[in-house]
Structure 1
Amino acid sequence: MNGSIEQELIQLINNGDYESAIQLVETHDHLISSPTPGEASIMTTLLILIGETDECIKYGEFHIKNMVHVDLFYNLAYAYEISGNRILALKNYQCAKLVCMESVAREEINEKILQLRYYDVHEEELHLIKQYLAEEKLYIKEQLLNPNIDVNSSEYITIEKPDALKKMDEETKLKILYAPIEIANHMSQYLDYFRKKEYEVFGINYYPSYLGYTCDLSIDISKLNDQDRETYLLLNAIDLISDYDVFHFIFNRTLMPQSTDVIPLRKLGKRVFMHNLGSEIRIPEIARTHHKYWSYAEDYLASLNGDQILHNIKSYSTWIDNCIVNDFEMRSYVESYYKQIHMLGLPIDTEKYSYKPQVHHDPIRIVHAPTNRSVKGSAYFEKAIENLQKKYAIDYHRIEKTDHDEAMKQYGNADIVLDELIIGTYGSLTMECLAMGRCVATFINPSFQTPHNEMIPVLNVTVDTVEAQLEKLILSFDLRSELSKLGRQYVERNNTLSIIGDQLLKTYKSI
């Protein structure tokens, strides 16, 4: 049935009978509320043709969250282009290109991107840019296909880099790529920050999770067969390496499965950063030297392959000079290998995390959201809660396998949030909860000072003290209120998206 509606819409539009097409839409509610990807694409085409550009953008943005379709991305890009929003047009044309596997159509989309990106360059210079980039892509492809050979780029790139490209490298806004995985909502926030400043940025996530973090394009490559995955990643790597100036990689992964893309990136002089966040660099032998509480998570440490982790760090630091970390625990694992370590605070968009003062709840509400129960010390938190429930009315919930937005709602309704008892540093969960005015109980190792040398206003608990400290917090509404206010103030002084974004931009420009 839906297929026949789709075909009927196409026929009416091709015949220029937009009025009948609108009438057909009005008699089929699902075309508005729950269209197929093909129907959504046709709907955006119709809205553009009848001059409803704003409605096209509204409709397209609503449905693109739940579907991946070349034509829908393309139509949304075109709607942004004719409405004068060049940055969002470029984003959606890029999405269309990266999901298109048909070579002619992909090149046509690339042509649109180049025209929009270099809109202020005269025709002769644009021709040189296209020639240079085409030759550059030939080199990138050859190097990616032959990672064990030192491919001579001059055999493929035969013309000098055009002045317009040199000028963009030196004077204009850098083009920035975030890839290939979204962890702890970092990518999404950086994209928001730089787009507000009119930077051309793009985020691609090849490993989406149940947390449901948003970025520009999420493609679960594990669902592709081996041959399709290899082809898809190669085509995208060639285009992305050529398209961007700054490459912000996350969690010890890059654009290719064996990270062979680091070779052409380095040889082309791109600005490359590896952003490390946790278990991908946590070397058990070093972790055990930090404090005694790692002995309470030996099962977790035993699950980590220290030799492989160290091999990966050495391998990446051979080709990538710059590493970004968010705390001193992370720094301890990589500082002996990378040429430059950049300390960066955790970003919090305070406009999205609104402050809610503490109120009296009976029973008191306590939540804990472990991504890994062992490394978060969940058993010790829950033993303390079990004992305290014998004396006090406590509504306790463990939040697991829940998408990020829903989890945030539950944190926002809690009085106390339990983070972790083993690692000794704080992460995005703590910062998000402080921004919302929640009291956070977590273990902070005194030797791991914050990047800005200011004590974070949390209830500092250990495996040894967690029950007694939590009891104090349960009994004292004044203490909870004070920590609530101090937490929000701390975030506003140190971790707003504007503050961290400015730091990150300086980092990109520093190399």
Structure 2
Amino acid sequence: MPARAERPLRVTFCPVNTAGVPWASVQALRRREVDARLVVFERYKLHPEADWSLEIPRDSPLLGRQARQWAALARLLPRTDVFHFVFGLTLVPQSLQFPLLRAAGKKSVMHYLGSDIRGKTPDQLAYGRKADTQIVGSYDATRWVPEAEVIPPGIDLARIEPAPRSERARPLIVHAPSHRGRKGTEHVIAACAELDADLELVEGLHHADAFERYRAADIVVDQLNAGWYGLFAIEAMALGKPVVTFLHDEAVRRTEEAFGTRVPIVNATKETLRDRLRTLVSSADERRRIGAASRAYVEQVHDLERTTDHLLAVYARL
């Protein structure tokens, strides 16, 4: 990126706050004296944080949506150096968004968060290559965007203390599906029914309320279909919880190689879930061992300050 005057770098994240990841990045960048903001189409129920909401729900009339989106772009162009798009979305139609930014001398990032690319064809994701760079959150996601930079989602570990050890007789297993079918919830329910443990499903809660339920867990089950873990698992590991989820072996290998640490997640499929959980249910020592390794892993891979360093390095290369 060309040298600027003494003013700070100006970054606009848009147009959604999926899983709170964009908002966390904005807050971290501000602490680094970057003029960062988050502009969203509408505030999400679970993660309503944003600096500016255009208040245009998905079901609003197309012409009205477009009018507000174009007005927002006109307002943001003179006060933005880098447009950081998330979840495969742009502020105005993709066919026009990137040519306009290039003509205006602005840089752009397309940042995928997982379900926005999973299972799509290269042709369906070709629009992302029009940005100056692409980012994905895991090595598993490079199956769809192999040329992308890998920056894992970061969380503010200074705000998350490991949870105290539980003394309950029956371990509590917590599962928080954003979509039951995609997360394999029916298999989680079936496996837990055969164990000497209690199961709590956390659904539809504001993030702050859901987080308190994660804190109470002895064991966390993330998902059984996607092949990698999400923010729920990251937060659970930060709390020192053992996490069970389905992981692709190649993504595990590349992650461990890149970060020089073991992935401590208990890998399970729908067929092996019951046995993996039974081991954890029967051994408090094993839960504590994996929980401690999980916190250390998050400090190495998902610390927001580390991921912000990486993000700033990407901006510097634009």
Which SS does the other structure have where 2:92 is aligned?
Answer: coil
Q: For structure 2, which runs of at least 5 residues remain unmatched after alignment?
A: none
Match of 1:178 among 9, 13, 29: 13
State the partner residue of 2:50.
215
Could you list the per-position Cα deviations for residues 389-445 of structure 1 after superposition, in whole angstroms to 9, with x for gaps in the alignment? xxx2x2211111222111111001111111011111111111111111122111122
For these two proteins, the number of residue pairs brought into alignment is 312
Look up the SS of the partner of 1:334 in the other structure.
Answer: coil
CA offset at residue 220 of structure 1?
3.0
Q: State the TM-score, normalized to the length of structure 2.
A: 0.91
CA contact (8 A) 1:246 1:270 kept: yes
> Which one of the candidate residues 213, 226, 237 is aligned to 1:410?
213
Distance across 1 between alignment mates of 2:141 and 2:260: 16
Q: Is the 8 A contact 2:13 2:39 kept in 1?
A: yes
Question: Contact 1:367/1:417 (CA < 8 Å) preserved in 2?
Answer: yes
Q: Name the CA distance, whole Å, in 1 between partners of 2:78 and 2:100.
A: 10
Asked whether 1:245 is paired with 2:56, we answer: no
Report the equivalent of 1:399. 202
Corresponding position of 1:326? 137
- Matching residue's letter, 1:493: Q
Cross-structure match for 2:115: 279
Letter in 1 for 2:301: N
Other-structure match for 2:317: 510
State the shift of 1:172 in Å.
Answer: 5.1
Rounded to whole Å, the distance in 2 between the matches of 1:315 and 1:498 is: 30
Q: Looking at both structures, which has the greater relative contact order when contacts are Cα pairs under 8 Å and sequence separation is at least 6? A: 2
Partners of 1:355 and 1:436 within 8 A in 2 = yes
| Corresponding residue to 1:372 among 168, 179, 184 | 179
Cα deviations by residue, 1:327-385 (Å, 9 ceiling, x for unpaired): 122111122xxxx5211022010122221132221332111111122221111111111
- How many angstroms does 1:225 deviate by? 4.4
The AA in structure 2 aligned to 1:430 is: A
Please say if 1:315 is aligned against 2:127. Answer: yes
1:234 aligns with 2:70: yes
What is the TM-score with the length of structure 1 in the denominator? 0.58
Letter in 2 for 1:324: I
Indicate how the Cα distance of structure 1 residues 414 and 322 shifts in structure 2: closer, same or farther if over 3 A, else same: same
Query: How far 1:310 moved relative to its partner?
Result: 4.4
Give secondary structure in 2 for the equivalent of 1:168.
coil
| Identical counterparts, % of pairs | 29
Matches within 5 A, 1:10-409: 168=4, 173-222=8-57, 225-258=61-94, 260-283=96-119, 306=120, 310-317=122-129, 319-335=130-146, 340-388=147-195, 392=196, 394-409=197-212
Say whether the 8 Å CA contact 1:434–1:491 is kept in structure 2. Answer: yes
One-letter code of the match for 2:114? Answer: G
Q: Supply the distance in 1 between the matched residues of 2:88 and 2:62 (Cα, whole angstroms).
A: 21
1:467: how far off? 0.5
- Distance change >3 Å, CA 377–CA 412, structure 1 → 2: same
Unaligned runs of 5+ in 1: 1-165, 284-305
With over 3 angstroms needed to count, the CA separation of the structure-2 counterparts of 1:248 and 1:425, relative to structure 1, is same
Contact 1:415 1:439 in 2 (8 A): yes
AA aligned opposite 1:240: L
For residue 454 of structure 1, report the CA deviation from its aligned partner.
Answer: 2.7
Distance 1:258 1:432, change over 3 A: same
Give yes or no for contact 2:259–2:300 (8 Å, CA) kept in 1.
no
1:445 alignment counterpart: 248
- Give distance in 1, aligned partners of 2:24 and 2:271: 36
Q: Which amino acid aligns with 2:43?
A: P
Indicate the residue corresponding to 1:426 in structure 2: 229
Q: Distance in 1 between matches of 2:94 and 2:108?
A: 16
* In structure 1, distance between residues paired with 2:262 and 2:43: 34
Counterpart in 2 of 1:474?
281
Matches of 1:444 and 1:252, distance apart in 2: 23
CA displacement at 1:185 relative to structure 2: 1.4
Instruction: Summarize deviations over 1:203-224 as a string: whole Å, max 9, x none.
Output: 0111432213412123331275
More strand by share: 2
> Would the aligned equivalents of 2:107 and 2:132 in 1 still touch at CA under 8 Å?
no
Q: Where does residue 36 of structure 1 map in the other structure?
A: none
Distance between the aligned counterparts of 1:493 and 1:225, measured in 2?
45
> Aligned-pair RMSD on alpha carbons?
2.0
